Amino acid sequence: MFPKRRMRRLRLERIRPLIRETTLSVNDLIMPFFVDETIKKPVEISSMPGQYRYPVEQISDEVGNCLETGLKAFILFGIPSSKDDIGSSAFDEDGVIQRAVKSIKADHPDAVVITDVCLCEYTSHGHCGIVENESVLNDPTLEILGKTAVSHARAGADIVAPSGMMDGMVEAIRTSLDEEGYENVLIMSYAAKYASAFYGPFRDAADSGFSFGDRMGYQMDPPNSDEALREVELDIIEGADIIMVKPALSYLDIIIKVKSEFGMPTAAYNVSGEYAMVKAAAIQGWLKEEEIVNEMLISIKRAGADLILTYFAKDVARRLHEYGEI
Ligand code: PBG
């Protein structure tokens, strides 16, 4: 029998766009930026070609360039001029992130400014909390995370994003924010964050490598997925507004499960190593960067992510701006 149901009819060039199930919009994208208090001009990050650390004085202009493409949301990571045992530069009212947020908000009040709330960039040992006998103490770290989040909110942050995987971090931050009158500041929690080798280039970029051990004691073990659902559930109960799965590409199954189980606004972090792999291959001429990026980001959306944090956000936004769709 000749086939009656011909699937190829749907693939005719003029029909394809009509039945496309998943789309990518500039509203789905969050651009990460590194702000470095110790530099005077932008410095390219060697393990992330095309990405830069920006001086505090220049970050607002860079955000302005992105806003022109339609991009609206940015997440900031800080490189402070001084580090200590407890990461006190993280909650300094005059710290690198606090200054960066103030300058962006002064120039671009409509930009959505998200701040990463973690201690690893601010501690001398590079771990995401207070350390005793080479182990990260959970509960004493919470107080510092609360103070840090409040200082970001005071500077004008719209969303704080705790990424340290401490137990109870969302509740501690929600309580601190509410006590200080920042009940409209959202929390985007790195809820299911895996102990991943894909963060390697970020640690160069943010100067947040650790001096001993690893992060297995707080970040999740890659083979686990039920545990990711329990992590996400706890963060929802504690008051997270948006939950995140990180990294994205090796964890698409986790995105699907989290989205279908909880139906929460769900973000996925297309991390530094995922960026570096594509860039490295593209520079060699082994992959077509734009097509690879489109396919990767669409796959993350198709898995159920509402938002994607990606170092490709600016490039993609520029292309969306130019062509309408990609
Ligand atoms: C801080 C933090 C990390 C990333 C985001 N926030 C690094 C880490 O946990 O070691 C990684 C982002 C990326 O690789 O792009 N805790």
Q: Is residue 9 assigned to a domain?
A: no
Domain span at 269: 22-323
Q: Are 143 and 86 in contact (CB under 8 A)?
A: no
Q: Are strands 112-117 and 73-79 parallel, antiparallel or unpaired?
A: parallel
Ligand 1 near 118 CB (within 6 A): yes
Ligand 1 near 114 CB (within 6 A): no
Q: Is residue 4 assigned to a domain?
A: no
> How many domains, in total, are found in the chain?
1
> Given the CA of residue 116, which atom of ligand 1 is nearest to it?
6
pLDDT (tens digit per residue) in 225-258: 999 999 999 999 999 999 999 999 999 999 999 9
147 a catalytic residue: no
Q: Is residue 161 assigned to a domain?
A: yes
Q: Is residue 45 assigned to a domain?
A: yes
246 a catalytic residue: yes
Q: Is residue 10 assigned to a domain?
A: no
User: What pLDDT sits at residue 185?
Assistant: 98
Say which CATH number the domain at 307 has: 3.20.20.70
Q: Is residue 72 assigned to a domain?
A: yes
Q: Is residue 194 assigned to a domain?
A: yes
Q: Is residue 1 assigned to a domain?
A: no
Catalytic residue among 102, 105, 147, 193: 193
pLDDT (tens digit per residue) in 129-152: 999 998 999 999 999 999 999 999
Kindly report the pTM of this predicted structure: 0.96
Q: How far apart, in Å, are the Cα atoms of 316 and each of 13, 197, 291, 325?
A: 23, 25, 11, 10
pLDDT (tens digit per residue) in 267-291: 999 999 999 999 999 999 999 999 9
CA nearest 162: which of 176, 183, 148? 148
